[in-house]
């Protein structure tokens, strides 16, 4: 017979509260179902509501609470049962952006205080980057990369991961020089060779993709002095985002490249406008080699 295994106390987090119950009653519901003593229920419910900063609204019903407040009550309802594992499924999807960002930080603090392991499923890449200690990227039911947010973002292991987490400029080419600490890649999309000095995998004459994040791309009015990793183009579109501006630059080859230019950088030069001729460039450390 197989050995006996003690079941893990797991809670699936649902944000649907019972509308006819107060916040306090919603949190207490699971404990009452377990037949816990009244004194224990009162103590644990009070502690859970205090943890999520909802003690002062304990007597209100869900319709009297904001979306973020309802989520905190629902979280308290799960945590009050002291699970070892908490599964969150799209926990912030119904919230406005500002409330979502604030709730993300609050949720991280709460989980850190109680020490519960949390698995969160989300399609919001930014949310995953902010909240996770480790990320697992999935496609077609398979995990294709696991790592810290920094590892997955800075060193994607495939084209899918490069494009799914954040955004990326991708250049197809062939390795023409292969050394231990760098490679040079010839791409028909660029007039200059691609020089990559880290994360190097591949061999001579191998066809690869080079990924360069938009924030790594510099936009200038003069041609760079370096003899690699640059091209000339024209500004096709501009998207102002407050702290930064996205420039869509069409190269002479017809390739579209996106550059994320900070407001500080734009104040230090005459900001390019539509149809202006510009040059894009990036450092050897900015490229990542993708073999698939």
What would the pLDDT profile of 240-257 be if each residue is shown by its tens digit?
999 999 999 999 999 999
Mean pLDDT of 273-279: 97
Q: pLDDT-derived band of residue 277, with 50, 70 and 90 as boundaries? A: very high
The per-residue pLDDT for 9 is 56
CA dihedral 265, 266, 269, 275 (to 10 degrees): 130
Residue 146 has pLDDT above 50, yes or no: yes
Residue 99 has pLDDT above 80, yes or no: no
Residue 13 has pLDDT above 80, yes or no: no
The per-residue pLDDT for 3 is 45
Mean pLDDT of 191-219: 89
* pLDDT over 90 percentage in the chain: 65
> Going from the N-terminus, what domains does the chain have, and what CATH number goes with each?
10-132 (3.40.50.300), 167-290 (2.40.50.140)
Question: Which is nearest to 259 in space by CA: 251, 267, 160?
Answer: 251
Cβ proximity of 238 and 245 under 8 Å? yes
Q: pLDDT-derived band of residue 103, with 50, 70 and 90 as boundaries? A: confident
DSSP, res 9: -
Give the lowest-confidence range in 106-115, 131-140, 219-228.
106-115
Number of Cβ within a 10 Å radius of residue 217: 21
The per-residue pLDDT for 100 is 81
Residue 40 has pLDDT above 90, yes or no: yes
The per-residue pLDDT for 5 is 46
pTM of the prediction? 0.79
Give the lowest-confidence range in 23-27, 73-77, 228-232.
73-77
pLDDT tens digits for 43-75?
Answer: 999 999 998 889 999 999 999 998 888 888 988
pLDDT tens digits for 116-138?
Answer: 899 999 888 888 999 899 999 99
Residue 137's contacts (CB-CB under 8 Å, 6 or more residues apart) are 143, 144, 145, 146, 152, 160, 161, 164, 165
Mean pLDDT of 189-207: 86
The per-residue pLDDT for 95 is 74
The per-residue pLDDT for 292 is 60
Mean pLDDT of 74-94: 87
The per-residue pLDDT for 247 is 98
Mean pLDDT of 270-279: 95
Q: What is the mean pLDDT of the chain?
A: 89
Number of Cβ within a 10 Å radius of residue 166: 18
Residue 179 has pLDDT above 90, yes or no: no
């Amino acid at each position: 017979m197989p050995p006996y295994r003690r079941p893990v106390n797991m809670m699936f987090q649902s944000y649907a509260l019972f509308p006819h119950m107060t916040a306090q009653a919603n949190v207490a519901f699971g404990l009452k179902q377990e037949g816990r003593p009244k004194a224990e229920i009162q103590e644990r419910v009070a502690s859970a509501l205090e943890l999520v900063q909802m003690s002062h609204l304990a007597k209100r019903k869900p319709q009297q609470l904001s979306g973020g407040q309802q989520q905190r009550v629902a979280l308290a309802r799960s945590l009050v049962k002291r699970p070892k594992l908490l599964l969150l499924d799209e926990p912030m999807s119904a919230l406005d952006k500002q409330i979502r960002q604030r709730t993300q930080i609050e949720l991280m603090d709460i989980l850190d205080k109680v020490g519960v392991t949390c698995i969160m499923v989300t399609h919001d890449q930014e949310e995953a980057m902010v909240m996770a200690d480790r990320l697992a990227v999935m496609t077609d039911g398979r995990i294709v990369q696991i790592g810290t947010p920094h590892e997955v973002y800075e060193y994607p292991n495939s084209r899918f991961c490069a494009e799914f987490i954040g955004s990326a400029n991708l250049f197809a080419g062939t390795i023409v020089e292969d050394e231990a600490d760098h490679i040079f890649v010839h791409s028909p999309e660029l007039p200059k060779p691609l020089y990559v000095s880290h994360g190097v995998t591949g061999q001579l004459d191998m066809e690869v993709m080079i990924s360069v994040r938009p924030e790594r791309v510099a936009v200038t009015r003069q041609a760079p002095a370096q003899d690699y990793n640059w091209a000339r183009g024209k500004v096709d579109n501009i998207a102002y985002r407050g702290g930064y501006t996205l420039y869509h630059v069409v190269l002479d080859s017809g390739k579209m490249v996106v550059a994320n230019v900070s407001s500080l950088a734009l104040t230090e030069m005459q900001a390019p406008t539509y149809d202006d001729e510009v040059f894009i460039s990036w450092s050897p450390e900015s490229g990542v080699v993708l073999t698939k």
